[in-house]
Amino acid sequence: MDSSNGALDIVITNVVSTFTTLCPLNLRTIALKGFNVIHRRGAGRVQMKMRKHNVTASIWSSGKIMCAGATSEDESKRGARRVARSLQKLGFNVRFSAFRIVNVLAVCYMPFAVHLIDFTKNNFPNASYEPELHPAATYRITNFKATVQVFATGSITIIAPNVKNVVKGAEKVYPLLFQCKKSLRK
């Protein structure tokens, strides 16, 4: 996707979106007639995997559908529409409404390693690092919604509600990381 700061590549790995068909769905029918569905009774939903766009849709009986696994916003939308279309073919009166992208997860690799403890100290209270719980330091950006997880190797994952925020988040966090970078021997 976009590259910020010269040569850095931000790779979007997951886009999660939801939409709703405005009619209730009979999960059993879907599970029995659909080709590529898993019926998870415990969670009360059906999982359908689309091959083309590599989207996994979780379908609830109320008509709410959550699609995950796409690698771009457009793909997510297309995958969602395909899911709706296949439900339509199964005989439900499906409409495609309230499509909303919930989450975008992206990964970025810095060419340097980061000193997590310094990073946390400099950016308190936005940053928190608890090695007993998670190996990464979590940096939360408040003015626009984004969460950045910084690992000691210099790779970061950015979670935001849309791609723009992802880029913004990466750009915001880069100078902070640069301050605490560890000079490597190799």
Partner 1 sequence: MSPRVCPSCGSSDVDVDQARGDAVCMGCGTVLEDNIIVSEVQFVESGGGGSSAVGQFVSSESENRIPAFGESHIAGIGRASRAQTLQKARLHINTLGHQLKMNQHCLDTAFNFYRMALSKHLTNGRKCGHVIAACLYLVCRTEGTPHMLLDLSDLLQVNVYVLGKTFLVLARELCINAPAIDPCLYIPRFAQLLEFGEKNHDVAMTAMRLVQRMKRDWMHTGRRPSGLCGAALLVAARMHDFCRTVKEIVSVVKVCESTLRKRLNEFENTPTSELTIEEFMRVDLDQECDPPCYTDGLKKKKIKQLEVELKKKMEDVEDEIHDYEDEIDAELESVRPKLRGVYAAYTKQEDVDVKDDVLSTSSKVSDEGDEEAEEELQAVAKHFGKELGDITLEALLKLEKKRTEEEEEEEEEEEEGGVPRRKGPTLESILGRMPTASTLGLSETISNCIGHEKENDGAADSGELDLSGIDDSEIELYLLDDREIRVKTALWMAENSDYLKEQREKEVKIAKEKELGIYKEKKPRGPSRKRAPIRASTADEAIGKMLEQKKISSKINYDVLKDLNIKPGASPARAVESPKKEPSAAKLTGRNRHPARAPLSLSTPLSTLGKRLQPFITGQPNKKLAVEQVGSSHPLPVPAGDPAIAVLVESGPVVYDEAADEEEEEEEDPCMSAMEMMGSNDYGCDGEYED
Contact footprint for partner 1 (CB under 8 A): 22, 31-39, 41, 52, 74, 77-78, 81-82, 84-86, 88-90, 94-99, 113, 115-117, 120-121, 124-125, 128-133, 135-136, 151-154, 182, 184-186
Contact call for residues 19 and 11 (beta carbons, < 8 A): no
- The least CB distance from residue 182 to partner 1, in Å, is 7
- The least CB distance from residue 23 to partner 1, in Å, is 10
3-class secondary-structure state, position 40: strand
3-class secondary-structure state, position 165: helix
CB closer to partner 1 out of 115 and 164: 115
- The least CB distance from residue 160 to partner 1, in Å, is 19
- The least CB distance from residue 5 to partner 1, in Å, is 20
CB closer to partner 1 out of 119 and 160: 119
CB closer to partner 1 out of 121 and 145: 121
Whole-angstrom Cα distance, residue 183 to residue 186? 9
Contact call for residues 16 and 101 (beta carbons, < 8 A): yes
- The least CB distance from residue 161 to partner 1, in Å, is 18
Q: Which residues contact 163 (CB under 8 A, 6 or more apart)?
A: 1, 12, 72, 73, 104, 106
3-class secondary-structure state, position 82: helix
Whole-angstrom Cα distance, residue 14 to residue 69? 5
CB closer to partner 1 out of 129 and 158: 129
CB closer to partner 1 out of 92 and 171: 92
